[in-house]
Structure 1
Amino acid sequence: MRPRGREDHFNYDSELRMKKTVLITGAAQGLGENLARMYAAHDYRVVGLDLNEARLTALASEIELHPFVVDISVRSSWEAALPQIAEVSGGGLDAVIANAGILKMGSAVSMTDPDWDILVKVNYTGALMTAKMTLPMLERSKGNIVFVGSISSNFAAANDVGYVATKHGLAGIMKSVALDFGPKGVRSNMICPGWMKTPMSNEEMEGIMKKYDCTLDEAYARATTNLPLRRPAEMEEIAEVIRFVSSSQASFLTGVNLTVDGGGSTVDVGMLALDALHADYA
């Protein structure tokens, strides 16, 4: 296909625009892969971005996916792909899912400078650059952007300052986009999942598995013992919430931080010792 010049990236193609297009970052694995499969199953044209070319290519062999290897934190990487993205999408985007993210552990003292830098680059700058580079196409189609945050967007976790800080920062980006681009017909929201069975969460469970000599399922059970639903989410459950928020059924929803955590944020942690005394809670 012929790359277009920067000046006409967003030329509209009415025939291509008859089918809705979603762009997903971090599409090669975990929640991103699940989202790609789900949107494709609902007849969306799926544009998937990731740095893992092999996994992205493999996914594209299984579903209708337009794969692009893009470093989401780097403007030049976006600009190299934008002409082709506009070509396949008809110049507009109906939804963007800013999903890409990484985890590096450490406290304010122990976190290394390189780990802090990469967290800021991917989780924070990457999300902002995703909005910056896709908003012109979202404006064209009156689309919307969904930022994938975390329960760590709302609360702190031990030894996790970089992830907590960058996920908190997403709320500011999301609300600013909602305010600035709402008058132009673009919605902006954030989904904050709690424990969810993903490759990243599985890695976090390794510490519990080692300490208590237990299985992965037993580790998740320990991690979610104080959640009202007493279990982690499946990726499909979170993906369905994201799809709803990005759909026309949520057309008046914008600027919202939607927590999807199995009820965890309803729990008063200071009362847990007393709560455990009640047979119907244990």
Structure 2
Amino acid sequence: MSGYLVTGGGTGIGAAIAARLAADGGDVVIAGRRRQPLEEVAATHPRITAMVADAADGAAMRRVVDEAGERCGSLDGVVANAGGHGYDTIGATGDEAWRASLEGNLTTAFVTAREALGSLEASQGSIVVVSSLSGLRAAPQTAGYTVGKHALLGLVRSLARDYGPRVRANAVCPGWVRTPMADEEMRVLVDGGGAADIDAAYAAVTRDVPLARPAAAEEVAGAVAFLLGPDAGYVNGATLVVDGGAHIVDVPTLAFG
């Protein structure tokens, strides 16, 4: 039986990851800043425990890691999923907003990894960092988010280089995933007249994706479960893209169909 910690576990991808790991027989501690969504996720499965904590706060994450180890017996896998912030151009991003974007997208993963390393080394465990397709490409008006998600890949490579063979570290880069957070982005498109409703908005943003649809959060959770598990035992420092093929599309050839 394995023990896991998932940050940003109260909604969307994080909640789906927690549900998948628990369904596979793991004991899972989910952490986040908002109590209500965490407790709602924990109520869905007896193997899930909620803890309120800011993933960018070292003292808070030390407490979470210690508690996870006690509850689970050992900490075998960590998923650094907390993220957000940074939706503007560079010129329109002030100092405070810039710091918030890096704290939300990068520092959360760095602190979580740092505080969990001792436990993961003891268990010969694994860490998966949830980046984004924005860690490989640049969307408009998302400078802070894009920079933070790119930096996560460097964090993973540094972890893999410095701590193998004791700890494996890998990243996943999802594209569009149907979550409450993405729904809010779809509403922006709807309100701007670019789509009739949220379903039409998702269809519009995935029109040129080879699979022509957004992912379900459970599909990203499956990729994370693979990276944490024994079948990925020789996978280290890798970036697994979960985007329906969006990253392979050659934009200048779209006019050719």
TM-score range, shorter chain: over 0.9
State the AA in 2 paired with 1:177. Answer: L
Amino acid across the alignment from 2:85: L
Q: Is contact 2:153–2:239 with CA below 8 Å preserved after alignment?
A: yes
Task: Give the structure 1 partner of residue 246 of structure 2.
Answer: 264
2:179 and 2:223 mapped to 1: Cα distance?
16
Over 3 Å counting, the alpha-carbon distance change for 1:137 and 1:218 in structure 2 is: same
Q: Count how many residue pairs are aligned between Structure 1 and Structure 2.
A: 255
1:162-219 deviations in whole A, cap 9, x for unaligned? Answer: 00000000011000000111132x1100000111101111111122212235111110
Match of 1:68 among 51, 64, 71: 51
Q: Distance in 2 between matches of 1:163 and 1:104?
A: 4
**Partner of 2:10: helix, strand, or coil?**
coil
Structure 2 equivalent of residue 196 of structure 1: 177
CA RMSD after TM alignment: 1.2
Structure 2: unaligned runs, 5 residues or longer = none
1:80 is aligned with what amino acid?
R
| 1:104 Cα deviation from its structure 2 partner | 3.1
Q: Tell me if structure 1 keeps the 8 A contact 2:51–2:64.
A: yes
Report the Cα distance in structure 2 between the residues aligned to 1:82 and 1:241, rounded to whole angstroms: 23
Shift of 1:114: 2.4
**Counterpart pick for 2:119 among 132, 137, 141:** 137
| Greater Rg over alpha carbons, structure | 1
Give yes or no for contact 2:175–2:244 (8 Å, CA) kept in 1.
yes
Runs of 4+ in 1 over 6 A off after TM superposition: none
> So what's the TM-score if we normalise by structure 1?
0.87
The one-letter code of the counterpart of 1:202 is D
Deviation, 1:260, is 1.2
Residue in structure 1 matched with residue 37 of structure 2 by the alignment: 55
- Assess if the C-alpha contact under 8 Å between 2:4 and 2:27 holds in 1: yes
Moved more, 62-71 or 131-140: 62-71
| Residue 247 in structure 1 maps to residue 229 in structure 2 | yes
SS of corresponding position for 2:200: helix
Residues 1:94 and 2:113 are matched in the alignment: no
Alignment of 1:141-156 (within 5 A): 141-156=123-138
Asked whether the equivalents of residues 195 and 201 of structure 2 are also in contact (C-alpha less than 8 Å), the reply is: no
TM-score, normalization by structure 2: 0.95
Match of 2:141 in 1: 159
2:85 and 2:100 in contact (8 A); partners too: no
- Give the aligned partner of residue 9 of structure 1: none
**AA matched with 2:28:** V
Q: CA offsets, 1:224-260, max 9 Å, x none?
A: 1111111111111111111111100110001101111
